[in-house]
C-alpha cells in the first residue's frame, strides 16, 4: 500500500533537507570554523539586513541543517541574545557582565570565547515578524525535545495558534515519540492540522471524516471555520470558480427582498432607497418661507403630506427620486445572491458539513445527558431543602415558614466553624453535626414556645412562624451584615467529573446528590425502623389513641419537629457550599421547598422525592428551551405547578384511607 499523499509530501521534504545538510557539511569542511558558524557566515548579509521578507530561507536553512546547535542559535536569536563581533563578523551569544562588557559564547561548544566591550559588538534585534518565523522554526526542536513537559508545551502552543508551517515538524515529531499520551495528542493535532492545512484534498477529507463522531471542542473549532460562508451578490450569473454553499432567492425564507436590496446598495450596484428619515432631512433642508415644495410645513405631520412635498421636490430636481418597486424588482432579478464558502475546495466543505452534522447529533445526545445530570443535581438540592419540611409539614402537618431560616442558620453555622477551624475538610466534618445541633435546639425551642399552642390553628402557625422568620432574618443581618459570606468547600470537592467535552458534573454536586441519598436513607430508617418513627407515625395518625398507649405526644412532637429542623440545618451547610451565604438564603428556597412537598404529596417521603425530581427536571427543561432567562424558567415552572395542583390536589403520591387524615 503506498503511503498517503501527505506522507509522500513529507518524504520529499525530508530528502531536500538531507541534500541541504550535505551541502552545508561540505561548506563547513572548507571553512576552518565550526559548522554552525560557517552556516551563519554564508547567510551573513541576510542576517545583518534582518528583513522579514528575505530572512525566510536563512531560518529554513538553520532549522533543517540538522546541526545540534541550530536550536541554540534560533533560541538566542529569538531572545535577542545573538551578537556579532564587529571585527570579523562572527556570531556569538552573549551574557551581560556589566553595562559595557559582554561575555561571548560559542554556539557549538557553549564555551566562553572572550569578554568583549559592548562597543566592539553589534546586537541582532529581529523584529516581531522575524521572531514569529523563528518561533515556528523552533517548534520542530521543541516537539522533539527530550523533556516531555516542553513537548507538551509546544503542542499546547500549536493548538492555541495553529499555522500551516507547523504541519511538517509535527509529522516529523510523531515517529520518535515514546510517551503514549503525548503520542496520542500529537497524532490528534496532526489530524486537526491536516484537515485544515494539508495541500491534498483527499488527505483533508480523510482527516475530516475521522472527526465525524468526535465530541472534542477542538474538532468543532477546526471544522467551523471550514464551513464558514460569506453572503455575496454579483451581477449576472453565479461565478463558476466559487465554492457555493447555496443560492438565495430574494424574498425567500433566507433572504428578504429588503435585505437583498440593501446588499445591492452596499455593494454599490443599485441606488439607495430613500427612507422616512432621509425624506425628513431633505424636507427640513428645503423649507422655503414656511413651505416645502409648495406644501405648508404644518401639513407635514403625516406621511401623505410628506410624500406629496417630497414628490414636488423631486419634480423640481431638488431631491433624489426613490427607486420604484419595478426598478427594485429588476435590480434584484439582474443579480445573483448566494452564500459562498471561504474554503475553496468543495470536497472539503462537504466533508466538513457532514462531519459537523454527525457531531451535532452526538453533541445533542450528550447535551441531553448533561442536562439530565444538571436536573438530577438541582432535584437533589430541592430535595435537601425540602426533606426537613417533609417531616415538619408532611408528617406533622405543621407549616413552618421559618424553615428557610433554619437552612440559613445551618449555613451560617458552617461559616462560623470555618472561621474557627481553618482546615476546610475538618471544618465541614465538624460543621454538619454542629449545624444539626444548633437547628435542632432552635426547632425544639420554637416548638415548645410557639407551635404547640397552635396545633389546631394551622393558619396561625403559618403567621407566627412567619414572624419568627422575619425576626431571625433580621438578626442574621445584624450579626453577619448584608454581604454574602463564603462557605468554602474542601479542596477535594473542587473540580468536576469530566466525561467528555460536553458532559461534566462538578464533584460538589455529586456530593450533594450523595448527601440527599443519605438523608433519604436516614429518614426512612428513622421513620420505619426506630421507636421515634413508630411513635411519630402513631401520634400523627391519632394523638389521643397514641397517648392512651403510653406515648407522650408532647415529647414526640418536640423531637420530631427538632429532627426536621436539624435536617434543615445540615441541608443549609450543603447549600451554603455552592450558594453564597446571606440572610436571604432561606427565603430563596422556602417557596420551592413547599412546592416540592405539596407537588409530591404531603406525608410521603417518596412523594417529596418525586416532587423534587419533577421540579428539578421541569426547571432545567424550561431553562434549556430558553437558556438566557432563568427568571422565566422559574415563572413558568410555578405556573405549571399551580396548574398541576388543579389536577392532582393531593400531589403525585397521594395518601389514601385513614392515613390521609381529613
| Residues 6 or more apart in contact with residue 42 via CB below 8 angstroms | 27, 61
**Around Cβ 454, how many Cβ atoms within 10 Å?**
17
Give how many residues touch other proteins by CB under 8 A: 54
Alpha-carbon gap, residue 179 to 426, rounded angstroms: 39
The CA distances from residue 36 to 43, 46, 56, 68, 261, in Å, are 11, 16, 17, 9, 63
Closer of 15 and 630 to other proteins (Cβ): 630
Q: Smallest distance from the beta carbon of 241 to other proteins, in angstroms?
A: 43
Closer of 208 and 556 to other proteins (Cβ): 556
Q: Smallest distance from the beta carbon of 135 to other proteins, in angstroms?
A: 44
Which of these ranges, 258-266, 436-444, 515-523, 640-648, lies near other proteins under the rule CB under 8 A?
A: 640-648
Alpha-carbon gap, residue 215 to 232, rounded angstroms: 32
Q: Does 399 bind other proteins (CB under 8 A)?
A: yes
Hey, what's the cell of 315? Answer: 419634480
11 burial level (CB within 10 Å; 0-12, 13-18, 19+): exposed
Task: Find the binder of other proteins among 184, 426, 514, 591 (CB under 8 A).
Answer: 591
Restricting to residues 522-541, name those near other proteins by CB under 8 A. Answer: none
Cα within 13 Å of Cα(569), Cβ side: 26
Task: Find the binder of other proteins among 7, 19, 181, 287 (CB under 8 A).
Answer: 287
Give the three-state DSSP class for 248. strand
Alpha-carbon gap, residue 621 to 637, rounded angstroms: 10
Which of these ranges, 212-220, 293-301, 341-349, 379-387, lies near other proteins under the rule CB under 8 A?
A: 293-301
Alpha-carbon gap, residue 609 to 381, rounded angstroms: 11
Q: Smallest distance from the beta carbon of 319 to other proteins, in angstroms?
A: 14
Which of these ranges, 59-67, 491-499, 586-594, 609-617, lies near other proteins under the rule CB under 8 A?
A: 586-594
Closer of 102 and 412 to other proteins (Cβ): 412
Site pattern 542..571 for other proteins (x: CB under 8 A): --x---------------------------
Q: Does 210 bind other proteins (CB under 8 A)?
A: no
- The DSSP 8-state label assigned to residue 115 in this structure reads E
Closer of 31 and 287 to other proteins (Cβ): 287
Restricting to residues 426-485, name those near other proteins by CB under 8 A. Answer: 450, 453-454, 456, 458-460, 462-464, 466-475, 477-478
| Residues 6 or more apart in contact with residue 244 via CB below 8 angstroms | 238, 338, 339, 340, 341
Q: Does 635 bind other proteins (CB under 8 A)?
A: yes
Q: Smallest distance from the beta carbon of 600 to other proteins, in angstroms?
A: 13
Number of H helices, E strands in the chain: 26, 12
Q: Does 275 bind other proteins (CB under 8 A)?
A: no
Q: Smallest distance from the beta carbon of 643 to other proteins, in angstroms?
A: 7
Determine which helix (DSSP H) or strand (DSSP E) holds 94, and give its type and residue range: strand 91-96
568 burial level (CB within 10 Å; 0-12, 13-18, 19+): buried
Which of these ranges, 68-76, 243-251, 299-307, 512-520, lies near other proteins under the rule CB under 8 A?
A: 299-307
Q: Smallest distance from the beta carbon of 636 to other proteins, in angstroms?
A: 8
Closer of 291 and 336 to other proteins (Cβ): 291
Hey, what's the cell of 243? Answer: 465554492
The b/e string for 546-565 (b: 16+ C-beta within 10 A; e otherwise) is: beeeebebeebbbbbbbbbb
Q: Smallest distance from the beta carbon of 594 to other proteins, in angstroms?
A: 5
- The DSSP 8-state label assigned to residue 455 in this structure reads T
Q: Does 291 bind other proteins (CB under 8 A)?
A: no
Q: Does 643 bind other proteins (CB under 8 A)?
A: yes
Q: Smallest distance from the beta carbon of 297 to other proteins, in angstroms?
A: 7
DSSP string, 133-196: HHHHHHHHHHHT-S-HHHHHHHHHHHHHS--GGGHHHHHHHHTT---HHHHHHHHHHHHHHHHH
Which of these ranges, 58-66, 163-171, 406-414, 594-602, lies near other proteins under the rule CB under 8 A?
A: 594-602
Site pattern 305..334 for other proteins (x: CB under 8 A): -x----------------------------
Closer of 238 and 454 to other proteins (Cβ): 454
Alpha-carbon gap, residue 113 to 110, rounded angstroms: 9
440 burial level (CB within 10 Å; 0-12, 13-18, 19+): buried
Closer of 144 and 454 to other proteins (Cβ): 454
Q: Smallest distance from the beta carbon of 612 to other proteins, in angstroms?
A: 16
Closer of 189 and 476 to other proteins (Cβ): 476
Alpha-carbon gap, residue 180 to 198, rounded angstroms: 25
Strand partners, 485: 581
| Residues 6 or more apart in contact with residue 118 via CB below 8 angstroms | 99, 100, 101, 102
Closer of 85 and 452 to other proteins (Cβ): 452
Closer of 544 and 658 to other proteins (Cβ): 544
Q: Smallest distance from the beta carbon of 466 to other proteins, in angstroms?
A: 6
Which of these ranges, 97-105, 427-435, 553-561, 646-654, lies near other proteins under the rule CB under 8 A?
A: 646-654
Give the three-state DSSP class for 339. strand
Residues that bind other proteins (CB under 8 A): 280, 283-284, 287, 297-298, 300-303, 306, 399, 450, 453-454, 456, 458-460, 462-464, 466-475, 477-478, 544, 587, 591, 594-595, 598, 629, 631-632, 634-635, 638-639, 641-643, 645-647, 649
Amino acid at each position: 500500500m503506498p503511503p498517503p499523499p501527505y506522507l509522500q509530501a513529507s518524504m520529499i521534504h525530508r530528502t531536500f533537507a538531507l541534500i541541504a545538510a550535505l551541502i552545508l557539511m561540505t561548506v563547513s569542511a572548507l571553512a576552518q570554523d565550526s559548522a554552525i558558524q560557517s552556516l551563519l557566515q554564508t547567510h551573513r548579509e541576510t542576517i545583518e539586513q534582518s528583513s522579514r521578507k528575505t530572512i525566510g530561507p536563512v531560518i529554513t536553512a538553520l532549522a533543517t541543517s540538522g546541526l545540534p546547535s541550530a536550536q541554540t542559535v534560533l533560541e538566542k536569536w529569538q531572545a535577542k541574545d545573538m551578537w556579532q563581533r564587529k571585527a570579523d563578523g562572527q556570531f556569538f551569544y552573549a551574557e551581560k557582565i556589566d553595562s559595557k562588557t559582554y561575555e561571548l559564547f560559542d554556539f557549538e561548544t557553549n564555551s566562553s570565547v572572550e569578554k568583549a566591550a559592548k562597543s566592539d559588538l553589534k546586537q541582532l534585534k529581529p523584529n516581531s515578524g522575524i521572531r514569529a518565523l523563528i518561533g515556528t522554526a523552533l517548534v520542530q526542536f521543541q516537539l522533539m525535545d527530550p523533556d516531555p513537559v516542553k513537548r507538551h508545551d509546544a503542542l499546547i502552543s500549536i493548538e492555541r495558534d495553529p499555522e500551516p508551517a507547523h504541519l511538517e515538524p509535527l509529522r516529523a515529531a510523531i515517529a520518535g515519540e515514546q510517551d503514549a499520551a503525548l503520542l496520542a495528542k500529537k497524532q490528534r493535532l496532526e489530524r486537526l492540522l491536516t484537515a485544515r492545512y494539508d495541500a491534498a484534498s483527499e488527505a483533508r477529507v480523510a482527516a475530516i471524516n475521522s472527526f465525524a463522531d468526535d465530541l472534542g471542542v477542538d474538532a468543532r473549532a477546526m471544522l467551523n471555520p471550514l464551513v464558514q460562508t460569506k453572503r455575496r451578490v454579483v451581477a449576472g450569473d453565479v461565478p463558476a470558480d466559487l465554492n457555493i454553499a447555496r443560492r438565495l432567492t430574494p424574498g425567500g425564507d433566507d433572504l428578504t427582498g429588503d435585505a437583498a436590496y440593501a446588499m445591492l446598495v452596499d455593494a454599490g450596484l443599485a441606488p439607495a432607497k430613500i427612507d422616512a428619515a432621509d425624506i425628513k432631512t431633505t424636507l427640513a433642508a428645503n423649507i422655503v418661507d414656511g413651505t416645502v415644495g409648495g406644501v405648508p410645513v404644518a401639513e407635514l405631520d403625516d406621511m401623505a403630506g410628506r410624500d406629496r412635498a417630497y414628490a414636488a421636490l423631486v419634480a423640481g430636481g431638488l431631491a433624489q427620486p426613490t427607486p420604484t418597486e419595478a426598478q427594485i424588482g429588476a435590480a434584484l432579478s439582474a443579480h445573483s445572491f448566494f452564500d459562498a464558502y471561504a474554503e475553496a475546495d468543495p470536497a472539503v466543505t462537504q466533508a466538513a458539513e457532514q462531519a459537523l452534522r454527525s457531531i451535532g447529533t452526538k453533541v445533542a445526545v450528550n447535551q441531553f445527558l448533561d442536562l439530565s445530570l444538571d436536573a438530577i443535581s438541582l432535584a437533589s438540592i430541592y430535595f435537601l431543602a425540602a426533606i426537613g419540611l417533609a417531616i415538619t409539614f408532611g408528617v406533622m402537618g405543621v407549616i413552618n415558614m421559618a424553615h428557610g431560616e433554619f437552612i440559613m442558620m445551618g449555613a451560617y453555622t458552617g461559616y462560623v466553624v470555618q472561621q474557627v477551624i481553618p482546615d476546610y475538610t475538618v471544618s465541614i466534618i465538624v460543621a454538619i453535626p454542629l449545624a444539626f445541633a444548633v437547628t435542632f435546639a432552635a426547632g425544639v425551642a420554637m416548638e415548645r414556645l410557639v407551635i404547640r399552642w397552635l396545633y389546631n390553628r394551622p393558619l396561625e402557625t403559618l403567621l407566627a412562624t412567619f414572624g419568627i422568620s422575619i425576626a431571625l432574618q433580621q438578626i442574621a443581618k445584624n450579626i453577619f451584615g448584608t454581604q454574602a459570606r463564603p462557605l468554602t468547600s474542601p479542596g477535594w470537592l473542587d473540580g468536576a467529573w469530566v466525561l467528555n467535552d460536553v458532559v461534566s458534573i462538578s464533584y460538589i454536586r455529586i456530593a450533594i446528590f450523595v448527601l440527599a441519598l443519605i438523608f433519604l436513607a436516614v429518614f426512612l430508617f428513622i421513620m420505619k425502623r426506630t421507636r421515634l418513627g413508630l411513635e411519630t407515625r402513631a401520634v400523627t395518625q391519632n394523638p389521643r389513641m397514641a397517648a392512651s398507649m403510653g406515648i407522650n405526644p408532647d415529647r414526640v412532637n418536640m423531637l420530631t419537629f427538632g429532627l426536621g429542623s436539624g435536617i434543615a440545618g445540615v441541608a443549609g451547610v450543603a447549600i451554603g457550599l455552592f450558594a453564597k451565604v446571606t440572610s436571604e438564603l432561606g427565603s430563596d428556597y422556602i417557596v420551592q421547598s413547599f412546592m416540592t412537598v405539596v407537588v409530591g404529596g404531603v406525608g410521603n417521603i417518596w412523594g417529596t422525592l418525586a416532587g423534587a425530581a419533577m421540579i428539578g427536571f421541569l426547571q432545567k427543561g424550561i431553562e434549556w428551551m430558553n437558556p438566557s432567562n432563568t427568571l422565566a424558567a422559574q415563572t413558568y415552572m410555578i405556573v405549571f405547578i399551580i396548574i398541576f395542583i388543579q389536577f392532582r390536589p393531593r400531589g403525585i403520591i397521594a395518601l389514601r384511607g385513614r392515613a390521609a387524615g381529613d
